[in-house]
Amino acid sequence: MLKSLKQLFEENEGKRAIGSFNVHCLEMLPAMLEGAKELNVPIIIQTSPGTAAYIGFDLLVSSIETLAERLDVDVCLHMDHCKDIEVLKEAIHAGYSSVMYDGSSLSLDENIQNTRTVVEYANAKNVSVEGEVGTIGGAEEGVVVSEDEAIYTKPEDAYRFVRETGVNALAVAIGTTHGQYKSKAKINFALLEELSANMPDVGMVLHGGTGVSDEDMRRCVSLGMKKVNVGTELNKSYIEEVNRTFAEATPLTSLRKLLLPANNRIKDIVIEKSALFQLM
């Protein structure tokens, strides 16, 4: 069933953080939901604005609705890191159940004002909204933010942001980076503990989940992370499998057989990560 982020947070309180997996092409999608089905857990499928334009907003929504019903899996379809309010309105109109307005590069006042506009529009249609305070480093949609430019979330800014916007979820910068897979992030757990203790009514979101060790991930979940984003590992693994199978192909090889190993690897990652996000 297609559900909002708010619904999934409420239904899974005290049980787990929910894995939010970036779909990069339509071929990945069935494998992602099959992984969630195998563990009997909910899943968030998130797209960048670029991926949504590539696949098609309507095709994404209808495909997820079909798969969720076929597999009996609770799914949230989420637009990730979008700076364009009109694109978010398009996603909501198409049937997305959650959206993220990313105003982290703006002043706090501008970020609050724009996010509040999105919240008012989304709430009228029972769609959840994620915001961001602080700047998470790394590469996102081809845009690189260096570690020097990354800014930890300031607690007083986060509290004001949540209070004045009414967001359902908040991405916080605590040391992770987008696109990190060659090393592991150094998490500022003191900051995470402070944020968690003072924002009990909003779901905190960990971006850059690929670059976090299993031990640190379990600690993040135990300290209140409700949504964990995984993107780089999916993209990297898909490319590795496709490079291997296509290298052995001839013009008469079934394309389906070349893609199946990559799809199966995606399913394995969803299972592995979703199990990791469960509270012990």
Domains of the chain: 5-232+266-276 (3.20.20.70)
User: Is 201 a catalytic site residue?
Assistant: no
Q: Residue 275 CA to chain centroid, in angstroms? A: 16
112-149 pLDDT tens trace: 999 999 999 999 999 999 999 987 654 445 443 444 44
Predicted confidence at residue 143, as pLDDT, reads 44
Q: Which of 74, 80, 102, 216 is catalytic?
A: 80
171-213 pLDDT tens trace: 999 987 655 444 467 889 999 999 999 999 999 999 887 778 8
- DSSP letters for 108-119: HHHHHHHHHHHH
- pLDDT above 70 coverage of the chain, percent: 91
Separation of alpha carbons 54 and 84, rounded Å: 17
Burial class (CB in 10 A: 0-12, 13-18, 19+), 143: exposed
Over the chain (280 residues), the average pLDDT of each successive run of 10 is: 96 96 96 98 97 97 98 98 97 98 95 98 97 71 46 93 98 76 73 95 89 91 95 93 95 95 98 92
Closest CA to 188 of 230, 157, 163, 154: 154
pTM value surpassing 0.75:
yes
